[in-house]
Amino acid sequence: MEVLNRSKNGNMFDRGFGTKATSTVQLFDEVTVNMSKNVNFVQFSPFDSSFDILAAGTLDSISVFRICFVNECNRQEMDANEQSPNQEELKFSFQFIHDYIIGSSSNSIAFSPKTNFMSMTPNGNQRHLLCFAIAADDDYGIRILSQQFRHDSNNLPIEDDKQTNQQFIIGHTDYINDMSFEPETGNLLASTSDDCTCCVWSIDDSDKNKLDMKILLSSPGMNVKWHPSEPNKLFVSEKKGIIRFYDIRTRMAVLSFECNRYPLMASDWCNENSFFIGCASAKSLFFWDTSLTSLPIKQIKTSFEGLSEFEFYDSKIVAYRGRPNNFLQIRNFVNNQVYVEKDFVAGRGLSWNRKMPFLAVGGPNAIHIFKIKYS
């Protein structure tokens, strides 16, 4: 295994993937990024303009990294309009961007589509904007942070944009479990909470953020999702095993799905195919094709004592975690081939990269990056 130590000055690390033995077929490689504390969540940006940005949260801080998939992080070799490069030829490196001290524990982060790490200035310098929302556990509030960064043509940081702009949203009365920005403009932010509500907030550049829509749920809200191909629909899952789609324009529920298992701890809306949804509830995984039926098209019973996290890579590959030992599995749910099985004694969080089969996983004092050999 290759170990990447954190950079304190933004320097690049160029490392290959080391081979890691597994009890399943050898179908993955792994890289570890050391952190000072256990990682509570990880999140790749889901947008093309910032697909290589990764955030990791610990007890009281958030670290942001840029992950490079091509030699020397040359963005001209791979921009948002190009297809993904050949996986076998990929090089892998990290660039440390910034640490944010938030003074509170948090388990939820959402990147804004305003985040952009692809813009260039006329003199060839790179001007970047980082914008994301954090849910704070101490006051059940939301903090929206934005900051500009500049790098010269050699990718070295220019120290002139140190100020972080902050906005605050207060409205929930219990822990916020998930958040998601509207994917086209980023002017709406949805959040769902243990207070049995899902709120949609109108976001602007001032501090006058307002509640645009409030949905009353029948149990704690676990996940909320927007989809780039259907920006007028909002996906909301509840702990008692219900997933509903809401029309943002009419503010009405338009579709409903039930797995009849308690508790539903995690759910997702497949980015590759907007008809596919899934969830991890109790000890089982459930999958729906919403164009066919309201009943699950597949159920997978696991040997876990209880599932806690779940996320699609595409319409075949999923990752999920559960008890005991924060156990991780990555599998093809169509043919049931298992790619990764691994114990983590501590840590939470998993997140797929937008373009490539790279999975980030929060672990004890480290971020683990798995590269899945999949075609």
- CATH at residue 175: 2.130.10.10
- pLDDT tens, 157-189? 555 556 788 999 999 999 999 999 999 999 999
pTM for the full predicted model? 0.85
- pLDDT tens, 182-240? 999 999 999 999 999 999 999 986 666 789 999 999 999 999 999 988 889 999 999 99
Distance from CA of residue 325 to its chain's centroid?
22
Scan for tokens 């003074």, then name that residue: 103
Eight-class DSSP state of 140: S
Whole-angstrom CA distances from 109 to 1, 28, 144, 295, 317 are 28, 27, 10, 31, 23
Scan for tokens 């929206």, then name that residue: 144
For residue 247, what are the domain limits? 2-372
Inter-residue contact 144 to 164 (CB < 8 Å):
no
What contacts 29, CB < 8 A, 6 or more positions away?
A: 17, 18, 19, 20, 370, 371, 373
Nearest to 300 by CA among 344, 335, 350: 335
pLDDT, mean of residues 238-265: 95
For residue 19, give both structure tokens.
Answer: 């081979």
What number of residues does the chain have? 375
Domain count, the chain: 1
Long-range Cβ pairs for the range 233-240 (8 Å, 24+): 234/190, 234/198, 234/200, 235/267, 235/269, 235/277, 236/192, 236/198, 237/264, 237/267, 237/279, 238/264, 239/263, 239/264, 239/265, 240/264
